[in-house]
Copies of this chain bind each other. A is one copy, B any other.
Amino acid sequence: MFEVYVAAKFEAAHRLVGDFGPATRMHGHTYRMEVIVRGQHLGDDGTLYDIGDLGLAVNDLAGSLDYRDLNEVSGLASVNTTAEAVADYCWERLAPSLRDRGLDSLVVRIWESRDAYAAREDGLD
């Protein structure tokens, strides 16, 4: 099994709703988004998936969240903007263009700091 990984970052504000102490105050993070695709076979060009192409998609997505208030982003405004929810949001936006490309699964990790992340991993079937 092979995998390809790319990372990007974005600066965003957010606040949680519920029993989350100081995280319910408006604050923000330098988020790091890590994206991994997995599959069984390399193509004739020696790639599982072009890292440059994956990087463009990931940077586009990160750019769409950069210097934003996540609580106002369409698709996140109706949910609690936990790292899990942001990972889920990013997973759903990346997955469509990665299907039917010979890939088995997709992982999206959203780091809120060097010491904490949440991730979603699921098949691309």
Contacts and interface: CB of A to CB of B under 8 A. Distances in A.
Interface residues of A, number: 44
A2 interface: yes
A interface, by DSSP: helix, strand, loop or mixed? mixed
B84 A4 contact: yes
B116 A2 contact: no
A83 interface: yes
A125 interface: no
A42 to B, nearest CB: 5
Contacts of A87: 2
Interface of A: 1-8, 16-21, 23, 42, 45-48, 50-52, 55, 79-85, 87-88, 109, 112, 114-122
